[in-house]
A and B are shown apart, each in its own frame.
Chain A
Amino acid sequence: MAQAKTQFGYRRHPDQDRPGANPAEHAVVVVGAGPVGLSLAIDLAQRGQRVVLLDDADRIGEGSRAICFSKRSLEYWDRLGVGDRMVEKGVVWSVGRIFHGESQLYQFNLLPEDGHKRPAFINLQQYYAEAYLVDRINDLPGIDLRWRNRVSALERRNDSVVLTIETPEGAYRLNAHYVIACDGARSSLRQMVGAEFAGQVFEDQFLIADVKMTAEFPTERWFWFDPPFHAGRSALLHKQPDDVWRIDLQLNRYADPAVEKQPENVRPRIARMLGHDKFEFEWISLYKFQCRRMDRFIHGRVVFAGDSAHQVSPFGARGANSGLEDAENLSWKLDRVLRGRSPASLLESYHIERSAAADENIRESTRSTDFMAPNSHQEARLRKAVLSLAKETEFGKRMVNGGRLSVPCSYDTPLSSPDADAWAGGPRPGCSMLDAPVSPRGGETAYLTDTFRQGGTYFTLLGFGNGAAIDVPDGVKEIRIGGANGLGDTAGLIAKRYDAAPGTAYLLRPDGYVAARFRHPTRAAIAAALSRAQGLN
């Protein structure tokens, strides 16, 4: 089973020569160089922080892990300077089809409208995503990436955390102001802080096979209930780059993993599915999953992000994507705290916002899983009713749950200022900004997400129309749409998506979420919303 692997060398660092009683001191140590840790390190470095990034391995993990990266994740990766590379390599898709038995129940389009820079999803093997992020890190100053550095002990002090780190040349210690644990579902840091990780265990087993073949299937997500090739169970087919196809088959919960994953047992099943056996296996594994999260994502100066903090079932692409949302939520807050611009209590909003998001992701993915693998005769009966009603009713189609795919959460958060004006649409405070085309004077059409990124992803006031000039508080960037000097709205989409009239303004956080919006902003109102969003009051 050949995999695109990248090997990295262990290199001794001068920190290792320091006496144990006087360890080197660092502002931020990120543990775990997966997609979340790598992205967080880049984000912090782009904000001017120096980051030590530790990983216990010396290569990018092989095998079949995350493949679906959402529009939101791509917009984040654009800000980190890796979006184009991901999209060029990835398989772009937005259409899914759901089948029951031999026939199609319905199809959906996750991005049915134009005027967005990024597609609904790309499929990309996680090892490519990680390799591109590592390349980006090597081009950036400020990130010290140390392979084969395994954290073996953690001591929490009042104003710092002391880590003991094992290397091929023995152990050393580091003193960190903040430690960000991105060390995955089996997080050893989570155990070191003594945190529980409780939740629901699902008994059903699923088989993942990544197969290599040249095939005529379209680049869509195909999901079957009770297909002819896999009676009574569900199946998923999805395309990845390099002519690799992801196949996910639900198995009997009593199936013997050792037997089921033998290629000679998997092959006939997949041959029936594809209608031929001209394929090679890239990867086969069986998995069960759990839906669970930490009670608190913050333990003193140790902050958890990604799978270390929350785990979901894979149906819905909510694992890696929610971890990336953790990273974008945390990095600007941590940067402000490290610079002394916001109190440490701003970090509490990371826990509030992202633990609520984790609850939503767990709820959605649990519902999908329960629909795919009903827990009782009556649940199975209700599902059967939905599937049969879906053939002729719209409401039945909408109840069929073959995975609800990741979209940005909306936050009910103390950082938002509630609406004081009347709005008929547009993103509410706590929601993610919406992309739309904008036309610079005499330039080519661009996108709002790009304009926001080029401004440096600070707090940004997005203002519409001529209106009175707004006296923007210090440190806030401005994007103006329309008026004498503003960007054009030639497609007419941005005003519509933001329910904008002349004078309308949105205050965007550095992670692109709406902090507040105004029909006729005053300097005082903007300043109040800004200090609220910065955790200053």
Chain B
Amino acid sequence: MALSTSSNFALPDDAFRAVVEAHRDLTDEQSADFDAALVLILANHIGDIDVLREAIALARRRMIDGQQQQQQQQ
């Protein structure tokens, strides 16, 4: 597996807050635009198509798991 999923930030809360705060004052539409640009910038920085594909697969998997959990709760 080329994608690193261990914790890479010394202060993970700072990283999470940085992303959250970047969305402050944005409408949902603007937030989506912002996310699209951020994803492309970070993807290019990684610069490794295998890592990118693994990251995409992980994100898709979480989304499907999340939907199933929701359905079970309902």
Contacts and interface: CB of A to CB of B under 8 A. Distances in A.
A388 B44 CA distance: 15
Contacts of B33: 381, 384-385
Interface bin, chain A: 10 to 19
Interface string A40-60: 000000000000000000000
Query: How would you classify the secondary structure of chain A's contact residues: helix, strand, loop or mixed?
Result: helix
Contacts of B41: 389, 393
Query: How would you classify the secondary structure of chain B's contact residues: helix, strand, loop or mixed?
Result: helix
B32 A386 contact: no
Contacts of A271: none
B37 A385 contact: yes
Interface in A381-410: 381-382, 384-386, 388-389, 393, 395-396, 399
B44 A382 contact: no
B36 interface: yes
A399 B36 contact: no
Interface in A4-47: none
Nearest to B41: A389
B10 to A, nearest CB: 27
Interface in B16-70: 32-33, 36-37, 39-41, 44
A399 B47 CA distance: 13
A389 B32 CA distance: 15
Contacts of A393: 41, 44
B31 to A, nearest CB: 11
B36 A381 contact: yes
A396 B37 CA distance: 10
Nearest to A386: B40
Contacts of B44: 393, 395
B32 A381 contact: yes
B36 A384 contact: yes
B46 to A, nearest CB: 11
A213 to B, nearest CB: 39
Nearest to B44: A395
A40 B37 CA distance: 48
Nearest to A395: B44
A202 B33 CA distance: 26
Residue among A384, A393, A395 with the highest chain B CB neighbour number at 10 A: A395
Interface in A63-101: none
Contacts of A396: 40
Nearest to B38: A385
A382 B33 CA distance: 8
B66 to A, nearest CB: 18
A390 to B, nearest CB: 10
A258 to B, nearest CB: 37
Interface string A470-498: 00000000000000000000000000000
Contacts of A381: 32-33, 36
A20 B33 CA distance: 70
Interface in A353-404: 378, 381-382, 384-386, 388-389, 393, 395-396, 399
Contacts of B32: 378, 381
B12 to A, nearest CB: 26
B63 to A, nearest CB: 14
Interface in A89-126: none
Contacts of A395: 40, 44
A103 B40 CA distance: 22
Given A385-B33, A385-B36, 13 more contacts: A378-B36, A381-B33, A382-B40, A384-B33, A384-B36, A385-B39, A389-B37, A389-B40, A389-B41, A393-B41, A393-B44, A396-B40, A399-B40
Interface of A: 378, 381-382, 384-386, 388-389, 393, 395-396, 399
22 contacts: A378-B32, A378-B36, A381-B32, A381-B33, A381-B36, A382-B36, A385-B33, A385-B36, A385-B37, A385-B39, A385-B40, A386-B40, A388-B37, A389-B37, A389-B40, A389-B41, A393-B41, A393-B44, A395-B40, A395-B44, A396-B40, A399-B40
A-B pairs with lowest CB-CB distance, top 3: A385-B36, A385-B37, A395-B44
